Amino acid sequence: MSGFPEFDYHDDELFVESVPLKQIAEKFGTPCYVYSQSALTKAYQEFDAAFANRDHLICFAVKANSNIAILNLFSQLGSGFDIVSGGELQRVIKAGGDPGKTVFSGVGKNMHEMRMALDVNILCFNVESEAELISLNQIAKEMNKIAPVSLRINPDVDAKTHPYISTGLKENKFGIPASEAERIYQSARLYQNIRFIGLDYHIGSQLTELEPFIQASKKMLNLLDTLQSKNLEIEHLDLGGGLGIRYTNEILPSIRDYVSTLCTSTHQVKQRLLIEPGRSLVGNAGILLTRIEYLKHTPTRNFAIVDAAMNDLMRPALYDAYHEILPVNKNSGEIKDYQVVGPVCETGDFLGHDRQIGLMSGDFLAIMSAGAYGMSMSSNYNSRPRVAEIMVDKNTTHIIRQRETIDQLFSNEKILSH
Ligand code: LLP
């Protein structure tokens, strides 16, 4: 048992759904990202079912994985989207997603992005400052439109996660303190081209406990109460994303428990609930498949040098994140303590430290839980072309992103004529 339902061993060989990963590596080359369509679908359906009869909209956070085949799959399942840039909006549209089910988050939306989003009538702008609101009001006025808005409240709760991905503390750059938000909502008449339709929070990512969500919801409901007593109509509450996934043997709340906690903590109100899950929809539905180029044994350490690197999966280098590393074929070489590292010229270029695995060069490894913030955060550092992405549906494999070519790498560059 691998512990990852759609990526499991049959005898000693690791499969994704009904396809041996070795077959994928040989057919499409490595490194590549491999996704299970069944895992993606099940995760979405688990969220959807957990809301039961509560009016809701799931807005997949595009930043977690922005491949248009994945966006298209979620759109077909009924999903909306949470975007943070004009580029993500274009992807949603290209993938057949519905702008009317799309919310736009982020502290630094520029004028061009606001215009684009107003033009396609997105569901809501999650506004993060008064300055942004003034700018949005002005642009909507110029376009003769009314912009639908939620203010993103900063509830000042501790998400107890990695500091780089904690967003709901008052010292973070995100959101507006509740007291200030109250003042802004009450001065709604100053903003002729804004319609305040919601309240929003997002307190961080990879949360392993539900308590911070309960606290944040409480603060949001207090504000809702005040606004309603002043006759402000609020149509939806957006409770952000943030549910963590299991990377190793952490114990995590299930999707069902998370959603039912959100529903319970807002049971006294009738507003539609929106959520913006990213990682919990895609994280454990994808892996990074890599090949061992060389084994290198020094007097102090054993290195497995693989063909994937920090530019393909940044999380270990950036957050010291742990990803399980499984051999595609078990029982290959002698079991040793390995440092699994890439070819990039930095000591920070590692995928895993101190892994007890039996390996031989030419073997394939699966870097698990790489479906979220893997490909979407990859770069071309060291002039490494971005890798291919493969979707598996039962026993069928589909390439959903071609491997980048070296020519594409510098196609926008130019030598000056002297
Ligand atoms: N909504 C907003 C406004 C967000 O900023 C985010 C993530 C989400 C939703 C989705 O959160 P999730 O459900 O995926 O936790 N690169 C980091 C994670 C950054 C998360 C940024 N915001 C990582 O690899 O861990």
Per-residue pLDDT reduced to its tens digit, 200-250: 999 999 999 999 999 999 999 999 999 999 999 999 999 999 999 999 999
Other residues' Cβ atoms within 10 Å of the Cβ of residue 388: 21
Q: Quick check: 174 pLDDT over 90?
A: no
Both 179 and 193 in one domain: the answer is yes
Domain boundary among 234, 249, 277: 277
Q: Quick check: 165 pLDDT over 80?
A: no
**Does 73 fall in a domain?**
no
**Does 418 fall in a domain?**
no
Which of ligand 1's atoms lies nearest the C-alpha of 162?
Answer: 25
Side-chain half-sphere exposure of 283, counting CA atoms within 13 A: 20
Average pLDDT of span 127-134: 96
Using the mean position of ligand 1's atoms as its centre, give its distance from the Cα of residue 178 in Å: 22
Cα–Cα distance, 197 to 161 (Å, whole number): 30
> How sure is the predictor about 2, in pLDDT bands with cuts at 50, 70 and 90?
confident
**Does 185 fall in a domain?**
yes
Both 116 and 137 in one domain: the answer is yes
Pocket test of ligand 1: the residue of 79, 279, 280 to mutate, having most ligand atoms within 8 Å of its CB, is 279
Which of ligand 1's atoms lies nearest the C-alpha of 281?
Answer: 13
Which of ligand 1's atoms lies nearest the C-alpha of 276?
Answer: 9
Pocket test of ligand 1: the residue of 160, 162, 165, 205 to mutate, having most ligand atoms within 8 Å of its CB, is 205
> How sure is the predictor about 6, in pLDDT bands with cuts at 50, 70 and 90?
very high
Average pLDDT of span 315-342: 96
Cα–Cα distance, 346 to 349 (Å, whole number): 5
More confident residue, 162 or 293: 293
Q: Ligand 1 — pocket residues by CB below 6 A?
A: 61, 64, 82, 105, 165, 202, 205-206, 240-243, 276-280, 315, 319, 372-373, 377
Which residues span the domain enclosing 253?
A: 105-277
Both 147 and 289 in one domain: the answer is no
pLDDT for 94: 98
Q: Quick check: 168 pLDDT over 80?
A: no
- Which CATH number covers residue 296? 2.40.37.10
For β-strands 13-16 and 396-401, DSSP reports them as: unpaired
Other residues' Cβ atoms within 10 Å of the Cβ of residue 250: 11
**Does 57 fall in a domain?**
no
Both 234 and 311 in one domain: the answer is no
Per-residue pLDDT reduced to its tens digit, 28-75: 999 999 999 999 999 999 999 999 999 999 999 999 999 999 999 999
Pocket test of ligand 1: the residue of 57, 60, 63 to mutate, having most ligand atoms within 8 Å of its CB, is 63
Average pLDDT of span 108-123: 98
- Which CATH number covers residue 199? 3.20.20.10
More confident residue, 250 or 364: 364
> How sure is the predictor about 173, in pLDDT bands with cuts at 50, 70 and 90?
confident
Mean pLDDT of the residues in the chain: 96
Both 308 and 374 in one domain: the answer is yes
Both 362 and 396 in one domain: the answer is yes
Both 243 and 131 in one domain: the answer is yes
> How sure is the predictor about 418, in pLDDT bands with cuts at 50, 70 and 90?
confident
Both 292 and 378 in one domain: the answer is yes
**Does 125 fall in a domain?**
yes
Other residues' Cβ atoms within 10 Å of the Cβ of residue 196: 24
Using the mean position of ligand 1's atoms as its centre, give its distance from the Cα of residue 270 in Å: 27
**Does 244 fall in a domain?**
yes
Residue 263 annotated in active site: no
Both 309 and 264 in one domain: the answer is no
Both 269 and 393 in one domain: the answer is no
pLDDT for 149: 98
Both 165 and 118 in one domain: the answer is yes
Per-residue pLDDT reduced to its tens digit, 82-107: 999 999 999 999 999 999 999 999 99
**Does 178 fall in a domain?**
yes
Q: Quick check: 310 pLDDT over 90?
A: yes
pLDDT for 238: 98
For β-strands 388-393 and 56-61, DSSP reports them as: unpaired
Q: Atom 16, ligand 1: which residue's CA is nearest?
A: 373
* Residue 417, C-beta contacts closer than 8 angstroms, at least 6 positions apart: none
pLDDT for 240: 98
Domain boundary among 246, 262, 277: 277
Domain boundary among 277, 300, 325: 277
Using the mean position of ligand 1's atoms as its centre, give its distance from the Cα of residue 106 in Å: 11
Using the mean position of ligand 1's atoms as its centre, give its distance from the Cα of residue 244 in Å: 10
Q: Using an 8 Å Cβ cutoff, are 30 and 367 in contact?
A: no
Q: Quick check: 332 pLDDT over 90?
A: no
Q: Quick check: 147 pLDDT over 80?
A: yes
Which of ligand 1's atoms lies nearest the C-alpha of 206?
Answer: 15
Count of the separate structural domains present in the chain: 2
**Does 195 fall in a domain?**
yes
Q: Quick check: 171 pLDDT over 90?
A: no
Average pLDDT of span 356-381: 97
> How sure is the predictor about 373, in pLDDT bands with cuts at 50, 70 and 90?
very high
Using the mean position of ligand 1's atoms as its centre, give its distance from the Cα of residue 326 in Å: 26
Both 20 and 126 in one domain: the answer is no
The CA-CA-CA angle for residues 143, 147, 156, to 5°, reads 140
Using the mean position of ligand 1's atoms as its centre, give its distance from the Cα of residue 48 in Å: 19
